[in-house]
Amino acid sequence: MEKQLAGRVALITGAGQGIGRAIALRFAQEGARVVVIDIAEDCAQAVAAEINAAGGTALAVGCDVTKRDQVASAVTKSLEAYGQIDILCNNAGITQDARLVKMTEEQFDSVIDVNLKGVFNLTQAVAPHMIDRGYGRIISTSSIVGLYGNFGQTNYVATKAGVNGMTRVWARELGPKGITANAIAPGFIATDMVKTVPQEILDKFTNMTPVRRLGQPEDIANAYAFLASEAASFINGAVLSVDGGLVM
């Protein structure tokens, strides 16, 4: 059976752990050459080593997505290694939660810088190469909270709503160039960050979700693999909820 991403090169940010790691592993299984990008270069190296040991092809690059010089360097290293960039997965993100009246300017700015400007930085750096080749897939990690809001997350929700908006703009601007832009809005996913939440809260999340379980990082990776494939070539400007039916 032919691998659906054979011959493709994918850049994945925040790929050193959690959802990003699952996306990197899945893309490698589907035949893509993967650039594992993370601010924690040791984590990126570990994921790339895991992919290479399994017979895939991966390169690790340490990069702070808020630093445009580091982003430019990461793109240059990717092109030097593989000669092309077909898929960009904007997955890097952070949280700094607080109620509106308690949130500091630093908390607000740090989340905006990573989750919103970081997505802009990578996409702006990669888009010209995709335009030159007449092909590309841009997929960004949003969140269900970007659709309905969430208590104590003014900054995070603003970034995810912003990602949804930017995705639709890019779908219009880049669609004629052979490039699609879509976003994925995960529900409650059992990442290491979520596992630190008290069990009673996890139970609440589970009960809120119609399929009665938390999502796994692999559930999000499956959606990413689909949107990156030729099977999704007519999907553009979509925000796909992968949440077990939580938001309907």
CB under 8 Å to 229, separation ≥6 — which residues? 4, 5, 30
How far is 67 from 58, CA to CA, in rounded Å?
23
Annotation says 82 is catalytic: no
CA distances from 133 to 75, 126, 178, 240 (A): 15, 11, 9, 26
CA distances from 80 to 35, 59, 75 (A): 12, 11, 9
Q: Are 43 and 49 in contact (CB under 8 A)?
A: no
Q: Which of 82, 148, 156, 224 is catalytic?
A: 156
Annotated catalytic sites, by residue?
A: 156
